[in-house]
Amino acid sequence: MTRLLAGRGSRASSQASIPMLGDEEPVYEAPPSSASGSYSSKRSSGCNSVKVTVNVDLKGTISNAICPDNEIIIGFLAIPGKETTWEELDQQIFSLFEAYIARIDPDHHLGLHCSESVIGYQMGDVVREKGATPPGQIPEDVLAPTTTVRMFLRGAAQHAVDSLVLECLPRKQEDYSHIMEMFQNKLSQCSYISERFDCMTE
């Protein structure tokens, strides 16, 4: 169900659908000149792209209450053209998610897959969820350079831990980096003390 979130005191609703992705071969890069829209894991130059993030809110619901600390930037998506369909946009966004997961979990130990983990995504006031028909607007009318595409994963509402898994991973990486930095600082201090001791004993 596509919903207009109450961003300015108004609420409307219409139906939108996100087809379940099968085992088709994912495409992680597309030429920027593609008529169906293109995307990249790197920032595009100028103002022709929108940021794509994964929101790791553990509730498993799509909300307009966004906390920056719960967002992970996974890449940037080229603004679609007039001929881009919602199905093509879905494929581009989900392929970007799959490419991100492939980088952080090449052996697929986390068990995260866009066809199962993603419950939908938000674009400004428009929310696109699985299981309904496309909205009345075309993607070009919804996405602008200032728009952020926010993907949401399964959580407590689905009795799943997909959001929790992804939420914990960056923190573990940050903790590891912090520990290594502290370890290197300790080594530097020990080296300095050793040098000072050698100078004093000479």
Residue 139, domain member (yes or no) = yes
Q: What is the mean pLDDT of residues 68-88?
A: 89
Q: Is the pLDDT of residue 63 over 90?
A: no
The tens digit of pLDDT for each residue in 104-157 reads 888 888 888 878 888 899 888 888 887 767 777 889 999 988 889 999 998 888
Angle at 123 between CA 128 and CA 49, to 5 degrees: 130
Residue 150, domain member (yes or no) = yes
- DSSP letters of 30-96? --TT-TT--EESSPPSTT-EEEEEEE--TT-S--S---GGGEEEEEEEEPP-TT--HHHHHHHHHHH
Q: What is the pLDDT of residue 76?
A: 92
Structural domain count, the chain: 1
Question: How many whole angstroms from its chain centre is CA 200?
Answer: 56
Structural domain including 54 reads 2-174
Residue 90, domain member (yes or no) = yes
Residue 97, domain member (yes or no) = yes
Percentage with pLDDT > 90 across the chain: 14
The more confidently predicted of residues 65 and 177 is 65
Which segment, 9-23, 104-118, 187-201, is predicted with the most confidence on average? 104-118
pTM of the complete model beyond 0.85? no
Residue 190, domain member (yes or no) = no
Q: What is the mean pLDDT of residues 20-38?
A: 39
Residue 89, domain member (yes or no) = yes
Q: What is the pLDDT of residue 184?
A: 67
Q: Where is average pLDDT lowest: 37-41, 47-51, 115-119, 153-157?
A: 37-41
Residue 80, domain member (yes or no) = yes
Residue 164, domain member (yes or no) = yes
